[in-house]
Amino acid sequence: MTPFPILAPFGSARRTLALIVALGLGALTLTAFPGTAAATVRLKDVIDIEGVRDNMLVGYGLVIGVRGTGDSIRNAPFTGQSLIGMLDRMGVNTRGATLDTKNIAAVMVTATLPAFAAQGTRIDVSVGAMGDATSLQGGTLLVTPLVGADGEVYAVAQGPVSVSGFSASGAGASVTQGVPTSGRIASGGIVEREIEFALAELPVIRLSLRNPDFTTARRIAQAIDSRLGLPAARAADPSTIVLTVPEGRRGDIVGLMTDIEQIRVEPDQHARVVIDEKTGVIVMGENVRISTVAVAQGNLTVRITETPQVSQPNAFSQGQTAVVPRTDIQVDQQSDRRLAVLPAGVSLQELVQNLNALGIGPRDMVSILQSIKASGALQAEIDVM
C-alpha cells in the first residue's frame, strides 16, 4: 500500500481539519474548472508598453461658496493662511485681522495625466477636504496648479465641485449619505505641459507583462515572431519582452503595435490559492492539485451544565437551608468520524463539488488548507490576504 500523510485532529475546543474534498468555498468561491477550452486573450490585455503610462498629479487649493459647511479658521489654521495669501495676491490686505468664515475649505486636488496628453487637453480632477469641513456641496474650486513627482506644473484645475453625498442635521438628529467632503470636477483640469516621449523613433520596444511568468513571456515572443514572419521578439525575463522594430516598420510604431496588440495568446499561471479571511472569499486556479492524503474532521465538544438544587431541612430539625451544586459534564469526541483518503490528482471540479456538499465554513477552510500545505500534499501556493 502506498503510504500517505495522515492529518489527525488536535487541540481541545478547536475545530481541526474538515474532510478535504475541496480547496475552499467560504461566503463566495470563484473557480476555473479544468476540462474547458483553454482561454486566449488579446496581447493588449496582458501587457504594457514601457514609456506609455499615466502620471499622477496633485495640488493644494481652496473651495469657496460652500454654505456654512467649510473649515473653521481656528481649527484649520492652514485654511486661514491660504485665505490671507490668496487675498494678498488679489490686492486685499487682511493681515492682522481676525477671519471667521465657514464658507471656504482647504482641499487636496488629484488627477491623472494620460499618456501623450497634448497641451490644452481637459482631464477630470478629484477634490477632497483637508480640514473640518462637513460638506463641499455648492462649492467652486479656485485655480489650482497640479504638479507631478518632479515638482513641475503639468495642469491647472478650476470649476464647480460635483458632490454625490449630502449631509443634513437638526437639533435632535442628523443624516449623512455618501461622502459629502469629496467631489469631482468633470473636465476641470487643463493640461499646460506635455510629457515628451518619442515613441515613433524607438528602435526597440519593451513590453511588460502585468502578471510575470516565464511561459507566458515565451509564448508572447513566439506569437509576435509568427505574426511578423521574422525573429524580432525575445523574452528577456518573466516580465519583459524585447521587440526590435523591423526595418520596414521604422516610423510606423502605431501600425506595428496595432498589429501586435490583436495577437491572441494563452497566458499561463501558477497554481495558487488566494484566501481573504475577512470576507471568506477563496479563489483557486485550475492547476491546483492535491497529492494522496488522508484527513479527518473532528470536533471536541465539552458541555457543562450547572443545575443547583436547594436543600431544605426537615421541620424542627434546627438545620439550615443550603444550595447544593449539581454539575453535569458531557464530552462529545465524535468517535463516529472516520479518516477519508483523497487520491492523488483530484481535479478542482471534484473538489468543489464535494465541498459544496459538506458546507464547510471559511474559517475551517483556512485551517484545512494551511494544514494540508504543511503536510506537503497541496501542490499550490497559499496567499492569505
Whole-number pLDDT of residue 385:
75
pLDDT band at 294 (very low <50, low <70, confident <90, very high): low
Would you state the torsion angle of the CA atoms of residues 247, 251, 255, 257, taken in this order, to the nearest 10 degrees? Answer: 80
Residues whose CB falls within 8 Å of the CB of residue 39, separated by 6 or more in sequence, listed in order = 266
Which numeric CATH code is attached to 41-51+198-265? 3.30.70
Residue with cell 465657514: 102
- At 339 the pLDDT is 47
pLDDT of residue 350: 64
Domain ranges in the chain? Answer: 6-36+272-317+330-384, 41-51+198-265, 55-191
Does residue 283 contact residue 29 with C-beta atoms inside 8 Å?
yes
d(CA 31, CA 286): 7
Q: Which SS3 state, helix, strand or coil, does residue 130 take?
A: coil
pLDDT score, position 288: 78
**Mean predicted confidence (pLDDT) in 268-296:** 75
258 Cβ contact list (under 8 Å, min separation 6): none
Asked if pLDDT for residue 160 goes beyond 90, the answer is yes
Instruction: Take residue 267 and report the three cell numbers written for it.
Output: 497566458
Question: Please, which residues bridge with residue 341 across strands?
Answer: 294
For residue 279, the model assigns a pLDDT of 73
Taking only the tens place, the pLDDT of each residue in 347-356 is 555 665 665 5
pTM over 0.85: no
136 vs 364, residue with greater confidence: 136
71-104 pLDDT, tens digit each:
988 888 898 889 888 888 888 888 877 777 889 9
At residue 240's C-alpha, the angle toward residues 238 and 242, to 5°, is 135
* pLDDT attached to residue 27: 34
State the Cα–Cα distance between residues 115 and 113, nearest whole angstrom.
7
Taking residues 310-328, report their average pLDDT. Answer: 68
Task: Quote the pLDDT of residue 336.
Answer: 52
Looking at residue 101, its pLDDT comes to: 84
C-alpha–C-alpha distance, residues 238 and 165, integer Å? 45
Per-residue model confidence (pLDDT) at position 320: 72
Say how far apart CA 173 and CA 308 lie, in whole Å: 49
pLDDT above 70 as % of the chain: 70
- Tell me, what's the pLDDT at 360? 62
Across the range 30-51, mean pLDDT stands at: 71
**Structure confidence at residue 112 (pLDDT):** 96
pLDDT at 23 over 80: no
Task: Tell me: pLDDT of 114 over 90.
Answer: yes
DSSP 3-state percent helix, strand, coil across the chain (nearest 5):
20, 35, 45
Contact at 8 Å (CB) between 295 and 342? yes
The b-or-e profile of 96-115 (16+ CB within 10 A means b, else e) is: eeeeeebebbbbebbbebee
The pair phi, psi for residue 214, each rounded to 5°, is -60, -50
Least reliable range by pLDDT among 125-134, 197-206, 225-234, 319-328: 319-328
Question: Which of 299-313 are b and which e, b meaning 16 or more Cβ less than 10 Å from the residue's Cβ?
Answer: ebeeeeeeeeeeeee
Q: How confident is the model at residue 57 (pLDDT cuts 50, 70, 90)?
A: very high
Nearest residue to 288 via CA among 299, 302, 275: 275
Residue 174 CA to residue 53 CA, distance in Å, equals: 44
pLDDT at 295: 57
What is residue 16's predicted lDDT score, i.e. its pLDDT? Answer: 34
Quote the CA–CA distance of 203 and 219 in Å, as a whole number. Answer: 22
Confidence class for position 322, pLDDT limits 50, 70, 90: confident
C-alpha cell at 253: 510604431
How high is the pLDDT of residue 38?
Answer: 56
Q: Confidence class of residue 169 from pLDDT cuts 50, 70 and 90? A: low
pLDDT of residue 162: 94
Is it the case that residue 199 has pLDDT exceeding 50? yes
